[in-house]
Amino acid sequence: MFAVTDQAFVTLGTNDVYCQGALVLEQSLRAHKTSRQLAILITPDVSSGYRTVLHAVFDEVVEVNMLDSKDTAHLALMKRPELGVTFTKLHCWTLTQYRKCVFLDADSLVLCNIDELFDREELSAAPDAGWPDCFNTGMFVFRPSLQTYSMLLQFAEEHGSFDGGDQGLLNSYFSSWATQDISKHLSFLYNLSSNATYTYLPAFRQFGSEAKVIHFLGAVKPWQYKYNPQTGAARWEGGEPPGPHCMEFINLWWQIYSSEVVPLLVQHKVAEEIGIKQHMQNLSIGLLLLSEQKAAPPAAPCPKEVDTSEAPIDNDEQQSSEVRAIVSDHLLEPVYTVFCKCVLLFNNLLAGLAASISELSVEDTSEEAYGAKERQNWEEGHIDYMGKDAFENIQKKLDRFLQ
């Protein structure tokens, strides 16, 4: 396929949670064989583990500073205090290595090839379902330009944003969108809000099958649901049911997440950061499941049984040599053999997750003790045997993980 190098789809992830949305989006664009580059803007909060995964799948990962509107009054009107950071989206105009781009929110996914969008001009976008004289900024065609970028910042400083987020600002700046040029007025099918079934069901029945991009806009995102890979169905758990979303699309998001994104996270050893939980009846059932899918990549070799005797650990050459190095360094063989087996077991459980999980959920546990920094220390051999990496703490982690 002919690759177009001066045009790109661009998305934004300011933290690990939104980056998971970005990974689903990326997989959906690749699945529909885009010929354009895939770029993501990230901010310093994205962990090193996630950066590795993003670098592996996006053509370009660009780190930018966090821009924040800090406009709490307007954001409060929208009941979305977190959206000030969406000003960071404005950085997309700095990507001048590309001639033309299509921005897509990280909470969207594509259902077919949408490369024809690159035939459109700045600023092309689809109407917002809440106020159709405004465009929704979950998807728009733009031309990177440092001049436009600085004019946008200046405009933001002088006028602010009527909703506190990027959407209010961009609609004020590109204010002729609603009336001037119908070719910049894109079909709603390019940015279909996932609750359209509820707001206008007959129209959804008539046209929904032609949808090209699904956008999970609103306070509740697909990753806040729980998913059962056996049934392929997501469900809402705990408390008030969220605003309406079409479950068919939520299920689709989760199907892509579990079949395409989880294996990537496992392969790059970042699965533990997102708190994928498995609900197994007990450890032996879990191990049985793991050993059954031993041959299936990308799962790592798995221990057949839990054995805390002093037999050598031989199920993964690289891991066991690392483990032996730790053991011989500290000459505390009996204690650390058990300790290392637990670590191995923990790693193997994570590695086997993709196929063995009975339920998935995504949580931002980046603040937890086993964060990116700790993992880096671990990888570099700085292990706090007496403190947070002590055997009982690893045991606690295992217990939590297997709850």
Ligand X SMILES: O=c1ccn([C@@H]2O[C@H](COP(=O)(O)OP(=O)(O)O[C@H]3O[C@H](CO)[C@@H](O)[C@H](O)[C@H]3O)[C@@H](O)[C@H]2O)c(=O)[nH]1
Chain residues binding ligand X by CB under 6 A are: 11-15, 18, 82-83, 85-86, 89, 105-107, 136-138, 163, 165-167, 217-218
> Which of Mn ion, ligand X, none does residue 85 bind to, with CB < 5 to 8 Å depending on kind?
ligand X
Closer of 135 and 370 to ligand X (Cβ): 135
Q: Give the CA distances from residue 271 to residues 126, 211, 257, in Å, rounded to whole numbers and listed in that order.
A: 35, 32, 12
Applying CB under 5 A, does 102 fall inside the site for Mn ion? no
Closer of 14 and 337 to Mn ion (Cβ): 14
Stretch that binds Mn ion, among 69-77, 97-105, 151-159, 183-191 (CB under 5 A): 97-105
Closer of 87 and 254 to ligand X (Cβ): 87
Shortest Cβ distance from residue 281 to Mn ion (Å)? 38
What token pair was written down for 265?
């996270």
Give the number of residues written for the chain. Answer: 403
CB 96 within 8 Å of CB 60: no
Closer of 19 and 287 to ligand X (Cβ): 19
Closer of 191 and 337 to ligand X (Cβ): 191
> Which of ligand X, Mn ion, none does residue 94 bind to, with CB < 5 to 8 Å depending on kind?
none
Residue showing tokens 């995964």: 53
d(CA 242, CA 225): 10
Shortest Cβ distance from residue 12 to ligand X (Å)? 4
d(CA 50, CA 365): 13
Closer of 211 and 217 to Mn ion (Cβ): 217
Shortest Cβ distance from residue 170 to ligand X (Å)? 8
Considering just the CA atoms, what is the radius of gyration of the chain in Å?
23
329: number of Cβ within 10 Å: 11
Among 71, 105, 128, 260, which residue interacts with Mn ion (rule: CB under 5 A)? Answer: 105
Among 67, 217, 276, 340, which residue interacts with Mn ion (rule: CB under 5 A)? Answer: 217
Residue showing tokens 């370009």: 60
Shortest Cβ distance from residue 320 to Mn ion (Å)? 45
CB 331 within 8 Å of CB 362: no
Among 13, 49, 127, 138, which residue interacts with Mn ion (rule: CB under 5 A)? Answer: 138
Dihedral through CA 253, CA 254, CA 259, CA 265, nearest 10? 100
Closer of 8 and 25 to Mn ion (Cβ): 25
Residue facing ligand X at closest CB distance? 165
Shortest Cβ distance from residue 164 to ligand X (Å)? 7
184: number of Cβ within 10 Å: 19
Closer of 12 and 345 to ligand X (Cβ): 12
Shortest Cβ distance from residue 109 to ligand X (Å)? 11
d(CA 152, CA 148): 6
Within 13 Å and on the Cβ side, how many CA atoms surround 185? 12
> Which of Mn ion, ligand X, none does residue 123 bind to, with CB < 5 to 8 Å depending on kind?
none
* b/e 73-83 (16+ beta carbons within 10 angstroms → b): ebbeeeebeeb
> Which of Mn ion, ligand X, none does residue 91 bind to, with CB < 5 to 8 Å depending on kind?
none
d(CA 167, CA 135): 8
